[in-house]
Amino acid sequence: MSTEHHHSDNEQQISRRQFLSRMSIVLGSIGAAAAGIPVIGFIFEPLLRKPPEVWRTVGLLSDFAVGQTVKVVFEDASPLPWSGVTAKTAAWLRRESDDKFTAYAINCTHLGCPVNWLPKATLFMCPCHGGVFYKDGSVAAGPPPKPLQTYPVRISADKVQIQPSPIPIT
């Protein structure tokens, strides 16, 4: 009876020791993982985070005539700390109809020069390397590889708002 008792004491001790040593391994790896998470989070967080949805008011609905394409300047989506407090960007905004607008990014899809709108020719022209875009933003001539980027536009009460987004660099 007493040997059995000892035996089971020993077993309990061993298993407690095993348990403790396993615990320390488990705790050790949790600790390592926990220590690693903030670092990984710190590195990837800016890449994973969806940019906040921002809308910039570029004018009143009554400022824009149907059929006209005008330049509007607005604050960028997310001015980066190193680029200064604000970063301005611009778009060519066309009022297609009473309630429909199209906003073309001003940057040429070749190397990013600001394009000009020629109302008579109804073309966008890039002064840098002769890129030409039709009025719908598609490429007419020159080196630009892609149509002009467009921004979402909405009408909010009596205001016209553009949703800026980063320009992919080609």
Q: Which residues bind ligand FES (CB under 6 A)?
A: 108, 110-111, 113, 126, 128-129, 131, 142-144
Nearest to ligand FES of 109, 161 (CB atom): 109
H, E, C per residue of 41-93? HHHHHHHHCCCCCCCEEEEEHHHCCECCEEEEEEECCCCCHHHCCCCEEEEEE
For ligand FES, which is the closer residue by CB, 70 or 132?
132
- Cα 11 to Cα 3, 7, 23, 72, 73, distances in angstroms: 12, 6, 18, 80, 78
Shortest Å, Cβ 91 to ligand FES? 16
Minimum distance between the CB of residue 106 and ligand FES, rounded to whole angstroms? 11
Judged by beta carbon, residue 61 or residue 128, the one nearer ligand FES is 128
Nearest to 111 by CA among 167, 28, 154: 167
CB of 168 to ligand FES, least distance (A): 14
Compare residues 17 and 129 and give the one whose CB is closer to ligand FES: 129
In the complex, the smallest distance separating the C-beta of residue 128 from ligand FES, rounded to whole angstroms, is: 4
